[in-house]
Amino acid sequence: MAKLRSVKGMNDLLPAEIGRWHRVERTFERMAERYGFAEVRTPILEPTELFVRSIGEVTDIVEKEMYTFEDKGGKSLTLRPEGTASCARAYLQHNVPNLEPVSKWYYLGPMYRRERPAKGRYRQFYQAGCEVYGDPGPHCDAEMIDMVVRFLEALGVRDVEVLINSLGSGDTRERYREALLAYLRPHAAKLSEDSQRRLERNPLRVLDSKAAQDQEIAADAPRLIDHLGEEDAAHFEELKATLDALGTPYQVDSSLVRGLDYYTRTLFEVRGRGGDLGAQNTLCGGGRYDGMIRDFGGPPVPAIGFAMGIERLLLSMEEAEGEAALDAFLVVQAPELRRDAVVLLRKLRDAGFRADADLRGKSMKSQFRRADKSGARWALVLGEQEKAAGEVRVKDLRGDFEGNVADGDELIAKLRG
């Protein structure tokens, strides 16, 4: 029989790695909550139409990368390739715009895109993201960008570059589209196959094409930022001024487009320069999408959001230690003491400690080896003598203390200290 393996580009996360994941996820949750966001969880499967309508028919994700299939009822379903569209659907479906003026949501979970797997690029990957509905202003954009930078700092990821751009809105977009088409048409024959096909329907996509010949032509294309209308320009100026006031460094990159159609006005990206990132160095991408809720049939609620790839974050913080899985490891001197050990373990766990033991009746030496490997701070020893005295031997594996402590409140206090 052929060996059973996971789907290409979809990885297992084994318990040995999970400490680092928890650290990133918990830091993100705490940070988002500090900024007033609350968690939302949406299904991993959605009607295909949701993504076609929001991300855009003429995009890499929708044209090439979605895991789409028909269920037994003949309905077309898709594994979510990103989180923004699902959140917007849930926001409308549950009538949230009528319940509160501003909503701040965060999410964390797996996304699916059938891309060519590489380091930092997978077919199942995890994103942590935030969305704000109902606030049209540039200060909200600045706060969001700043939060991402603070979050990365909290993880020790400081060597990053923040790029911002504005894609304008409504009229600006229309005027720019015309200017861009007028520039691109004479070059059409030299564009990649994808870009030639997309040119008339979605010329903006030519600008974020990865093909070298497209990038060469795109380099001299007219810049959207030069076509911004008055209100769009004022929004962008206030965003920059607020980032300045926060002391958050950024660079304006007028070539930043990003591969999804729904963006309007503010667009941003955070790229990492350190660690083991390689070519996939975009840690975070986000922007405004003031038209999506209305396009979904709702009221004209402005919105902004971002998503970060957790795998890429972990690559950028290669050296960082994860949280240890245990606080205390109990070493049992003789197999006859295992029943007492189980009772002691439960006491420790009830007191909130992550505690474990090896109860297979192995030698003390072997048990101590496991205690060391577990990363636990405390090694506890239960022997006949300790049992008779109602004590436990306590050894601080990261410090100097070693001594007997009375089993009970004194032990709990010692481990807390």
Told to check if 284 binds ligand AMP by CB under 6 A, we report yes
User: Rounded distance, CA 166 to CA 214, Å?
Assistant: 21
- Cβ 84 to ligand AMP, closest distance in Å? 8
What is the rounded (10 degree) CA torsion for 95, 35, 269, 207? 20
Q: How far is the CB of 95 from ligand AMP (least distance, A)?
A: 27
Distances (CA, A) of 173 to 169, 185, 219, 223: 6, 18, 19, 11
DSSP code for 151? H
Q: Which two tokens stand for residue 90?
A: 């849930």
Angle between helices 230-246 and 138-154 (to 10 degrees): 30
| Alpha carbons 324 and 303: distance in angstroms, whole number | 38
The least distance separating ligand AMP from the CB of residue 149, rounded to whole angstroms, comes to: 14
Residue 109 Cβ vs ligand AMP, minimum distance, rounded to whole Å: 12
Q: Which of residues 314-373 bind ligand AMP (CB under 6 A)?
A: none
Q: What is the torsion angle, in degrees rounded to the nearest 10, for the CA atoms of residue 104, residue 110, residue 116 and residue 117?
A: 120
- 8 A C-beta contact, residue 27 and residue 106: no
User: Is residue 308 a contact residue for ligand AMP (CB under 6 A)?
Assistant: yes
Q: For the window 117-156, what string marks contact with ligand AMP as x by the rule CB under 6 A?
A: ---xxx--x-x-----------------------------
**Could you tell me the smallest distance in angstroms from the CB atom of residue 230 to ligand AMP?**
29
Choice from 42, 51, 60, 82 touching ligand AMP (CB under 6 A): 82
Of 112-120, 152-160, 196-204, 408-416, the window that binds ligand AMP (rule: CB under 6 A) is 112-120
Binding range to ligand AMP, per CB under 6 A, among 176-184, 217-225, 227-235, 283-291: 283-291
What's the Rg (C-alpha) of the chain? 27
- Which is it for strands 76-79 and 103-112: parallel, antiparallel or unpaired? unpaired
Least gap, CB of 307 to ligand AMP (angstroms): 4
Q: How far is the CB of 217 from ligand AMP (least distance, A)?
A: 23
Residue 128, Cα to own-chain centre: how many angstroms? Answer: 3
Q: How far is the CB of 218 from ligand AMP (least distance, A)?
A: 19
- Tally of helices (H runs) and strands (E runs) in the chain: 16, 16
Span 22-81, contacts to ligand AMP by CB under 6 A: none
Indicate which single residue of 25, 115, 161, 231 sits in contact with ligand AMP (rule: CB under 6 A).
115
Residue with the two structure tokens 């954009």 = 141
Q: How many residues bind ligand AMP (CB under 6 A)?
A: 19
Nearer to ligand AMP, 122 or 353 (CB): 122
Of 275, 285, 298, 305, which lies in the binding site for ligand AMP, with binding defined by CB under 6 A?
Answer: 285
Q: Interface with ligand AMP includes 311 (CB under 6 A)?
A: yes
- Maximal CA-CA distance, the chain: 92
Site for ligand AMP in 255-274 (CB under 6 A): 258-259
By CB under 6 A, tell whether 309 contacts ligand AMP: yes
Shortest approach of ligand AMP to residue 160 CB, angstroms? Answer: 12
Q: Is position 282 an interface residue for ligand AMP (rule: CB under 6 A)?
A: yes
> What is the number of the residue whose Cβ is closest to ligand AMP?
309
Which residue's CB is nearer to ligand AMP, number 115 or number 231?
A: 115
CB of 285 to ligand AMP, least distance (A): 3
Identify whether the C-beta of residue 62 lies closer than 8 Å to the C-beta of residue 56. yes
When asked if residue 307 is in the footprint of ligand AMP (CB under 6 A), the reply is yes
| DSSP three-state, residue 157 | coil
Residues 217 to 256 in contact with ligand AMP, rule: CB under 6 A: none
Least distance from ligand AMP to the Cβ atom of residue 204, Å: 15
Alpha-carbon distance values, 407 to 4, 40, 98, 410 (Å): 48, 43, 57, 7
- Which one of 134-142, 281-289, 388-396, 397-405 is the stretch in contact with ligand AMP (CB under 6 A)? 281-289
282-288 β-sheet, strand order: 38-39, 103-112, 124-133, 303-309, 282-288, 264-272, 160-166, 251-252
Alpha helices per DSSP H over 35-159: 48-55, 60, 84-93, 138-154
Residues lying near ligand AMP in the complex (CB under 6 A)? 82, 113, 115, 120-122, 125, 127, 258-259, 282-285, 307-309, 311-312
